[in-house]
Structure 1
Amino acid sequence: AWSLFPILCLPLSLDRIFGIFFIFQTCIGFMGNSLLFTLYMYTFLILPHKKKPVDVILAHLTLANALTLIFRGVPNIMSSFGIKLEMSDTGCKTVLYIQRVTRSISLCTTALQSTFQAVTITPSDHKWAWLKKKISTFIQPSLICFWTINMAIYSVIILKTVASRNTTEGGIGYYTASCKSSAYDRQTSSIFLSTVFIRDLFFLSLMTCNSIYMVNILFRHHRKAQHIRSTIQSSQSSPENKATHVILILVSCFVFFYWTNTFFTVYLVYLAKKNYQLEKFSNFFSSCYPTICSFFLIKNENRISGIRLTLTLNKMMKYVKYVFIKLYSMLLHVRNVIFSFKNKHNY
């Protein structure tokens, strides 16, 4: 507790508050997704007999979430504490490209996960029941297709993104504290925006339809169970029902955070005078889903026992506190060194 005293005594500006939130969000979310990704890799390599078809989807989802948190969180943490992140054109292209691709992979894999669960809980007498036996064969080709398409869509970022030397410059385009992506010509912009809009509309519509279908199945199942008292308890403890509830929550969270972030992104692109505080708020909001997603998945993961989960979460919180203190102290030290260096040169 005493180690936090020097930090808490420091004046907290709005930027520093953002930095504290980004540290907690990035550390907690990254460790949660890394824990799940490690579990899936361990299952694939060491315990293949315990592998589930949905593990492949979740491995890609947690990997995309972890990359999103790192490549969004670290630049925002550094800029929030006044540390100028000097990146080259190649660094800016890499960071923004990975941010966009991993965000899109989260969209696609969440839609695929909801589709898989909708097929899984389909009654045996339904006309789509034949998909139950074949849905697993479509997972890996779909994931490869998602990565290929999204990497191709956002290849235009590589051509238009450069390092930003002047933080006060504005105009139409996407600007951060270290990078800028200038506006495209009319033809390229029309093709790019149309492609992204069609992709987003398709996958969001797919998630919505799957959610409505799963809610309908659960409602009918619950109504039937009310007439048979002996099946009420089993229906409540059914793994399929638990997984379906988790996916419905994840889809709802994803749609909310996705559209909110999309609104902020479009607004910032066409804003004449760039607002970096609003940009940080947008980045924080867009990283909420990767963080929340990991905890819902951990809670629903039967291969992690309750005792191990409690111990893991306690260790994670202790580690986050330790990392937060060390990282905060390091950032303040680096900032003081930079300021003292500038003062010496000014004199």
Structure 2
Amino acid sequence: MQPLPGMSEGLGPIPIPAKSTTENKAMEVPVATILGTFHISQICIGVIGNLLLSGLYIYIFVLQPHLKKPIDSIFMHLTLVNILSIIFSSLSHVASSFGVRRFLDDIGCQSLLFSSRVIRGLSISITSLLSVFQAITISPRNTKWAWLKMKLSACIFPSFLLLWVINMLMYVHIIETVRANGNFTIVGRGYSHPYCQTIQFKSHNPDVFISVIVIYDLVFVALMICSSLYMVNLLYRHHRRVQHVHSLYLSSQSSPEHKATQTILLLVACFVFFYCANNFVTIYSFYIHEKIPKLEGIGTVLSSCYPTICPFMLMKNNKIISQFTSLISLMRITCSRREFRG
């Protein structure tokens, strides 16, 4: 009889040597380095972009107040939330990717995760507020939303305060259940982080906490989608009316309100895509029995994509940015002409 694979005559099974931990680490290093590079790129690009946009709005508020609009305060608040979101989400993962150990203690983990989750909730709610605000702004005067137009400006800052309080109260649970990583591996349901872990208490049911977060997110995402569909309908009806106008000027020009609406619709679509992708990774990593450390890094990259891209979308149709780029183009043309003549 022929010996089975892995067997020799009279000697029993031949042990197959396992891969050494050194080889496994050598295979893991490139993945960690790639994720670290992504995090650093998002921090540099996203923070710089949001700072530029914040500087633009500060310039408008201080030096050109006649150009200020009520919606600009929402944009400015969104840039602040974007900066904090990128820093809180990516900083610890950058340190982990490059082998920094014991970056956070218990208080550091509680502060970082509490802040990052509050900022995440604010990102959802402020983007939803932005979408609803714009939908009411462009609504016709004969609609049922017309009475809200005069009260929008007065409602912005109370809305900010309310959203901050709600999110801080909702995520205070994290302070009690998060600790720095110990000398053991998390198995079963729990939050996976390079430096932090969740501690399960008998008195705390994680399903209730997750259900509250999911309901909160779904309410604001539903508001976002409904207001976006309403704006799409308004833009479509406006386009149909404009087609009946024979003037080329009227049919080819777009009002600032419509440009802003298109930008916000693009923002909402971008947000919903990255929100769904990040939530899928986060929920999967929470409920998976054996934790995969790289999944949390991938989820963080996905969650930081929206705040990184957001300022560049908002700057695209900004009047001052357009004037500034036109001025730079004009200076380049003038310089090139002088060099050609010289």
Return the TM-score normalized by structure 2: 0.82
1:151 aligned residue:
168
Amino acid at match of 2:275: Y
Pairwise mapping of residues 319-334 of structure 1 onto structure 2 (< 5 A)? none
Stretch deviating more after TM superposition (127-136 or 139-148): 127-136
The 2-side partners of 1:207 and 1:231 are apart by 34
For 1:162, what is the secondary structure of its paired residue?
A: strand
Does the 8 Å CA contact 2:245/2:251 hold for their aligned counterparts? Answer: no
For 2:53, what is the secondary structure of its paired residue?
A: helix
Stretch deviating more after TM superposition (193-202 or 37-46): 37-46
For 1:180, what is the secondary structure of its paired residue?
A: strand
In structure 2, the CA distance between the partners of 1:231 and 1:154, relative to structure 1 (3 Å rule), is: farther
1:20 aligned residue:
37
- Percent identity between the aligned chains? 47
Deviation for aligned residue 1:34: 1.5
1:196 aligned residue:
213
1:92 aligned residue:
109
Cα deviations by residue, 1:283-334 (Å, 9 ceiling, x for unpaired): 10111000111110111222223545997xxxxxxxxxxxxxxxxxxxxxxx
Stretch deviating more after TM superposition (39-48 or 123-132): 39-48
Does the 8 Å CA contact 2:92/2:103 hold for their aligned counterparts? Answer: no
Deviation for aligned residue 1:249: 0.8
1:205 aligned residue:
222
Amino acid at match of 1:144: L
Cα deviations by residue, 1:153-205 (Å, 9 ceiling, x for unpaired): 00111111111133634332102111112345475434423321221121111
Pairwise mapping of residues 191-340 of structure 1 onto structure 2 (< 5 A)? 191-230=208-247, 233=250, 236-308=253-325
The 1-side partners of 2:326 and 2:116 are apart by 30
Return the TM-score normalized by structure 1: 0.81
Cα deviations by residue, 1:119-163 (Å, 9 ceiling, x for unpaired): 111112223222222222111111110000001100111111111
Any stretches of 5+ residues in structure 1 without a counterpart?
A: 1-10, 312-347
1:61 aligned residue:
78
Amino acid at match of 2:43: T
Stretch deviating more after TM superposition (126-135 or 183-192): 183-192
In structure 2, the CA distance between the partners of 1:205 and 1:227, relative to structure 1 (3 Å rule), is: same
Does the 8 Å CA contact 1:75/1:85 hold for their aligned counterparts? Answer: no
Amino acid at match of 2:175: I
The alignment covers a number of residue pairs equal to: 301
The 2-side partners of 1:157 and 1:260 are apart by 23
For 1:279, what is the secondary structure of its paired residue?
A: helix
Amino acid at match of 1:221: H
RMSD: 2.2
Does the 8 Å CA contact 1:65/1:106 hold for their aligned counterparts? Answer: yes
The 2-side partners of 1:46 and 1:245 are apart by 27
The 2-side partners of 1:197 and 1:67 are apart by 22
Deviation for aligned residue 1:58: 1.2
The 2-side partners of 1:12 and 1:236 are apart by 53
The 1-side partners of 2:176 and 2:218 are apart by 26
Deviation for aligned residue 1:271: 1.4
Pairwise mapping of residues 62-81 of structure 1 onto structure 2 (< 5 A)? 62-81=79-98
Cα deviations by residue, 1:58-91 (Å, 9 ceiling, x for unpaired): 1221111101111111211121122224211111
Cα deviations by residue, 1:223-246 (Å, 9 ceiling, x for unpaired): 000010327646642111111111
Does the 8 Å CA contact 2:50/2:311 hold for their aligned counterparts? Answer: yes
The 2-side partners of 1:20 and 1:147 are apart by 32
Say which one has the larger Rg.
2
Deviation for aligned residue 1:45: 4.2
2:158 aligned residue:
141
Q: Which protein has the bigger helix share?
A: 1
1:36 aligned residue:
53
Find out whether 1:161 has 2:171 as its counterpart. Answer: no
In structure 2, the CA distance between the partners of 1:46 and 1:58, relative to structure 1 (3 Å rule), is: same
2:339 aligned residue:
none
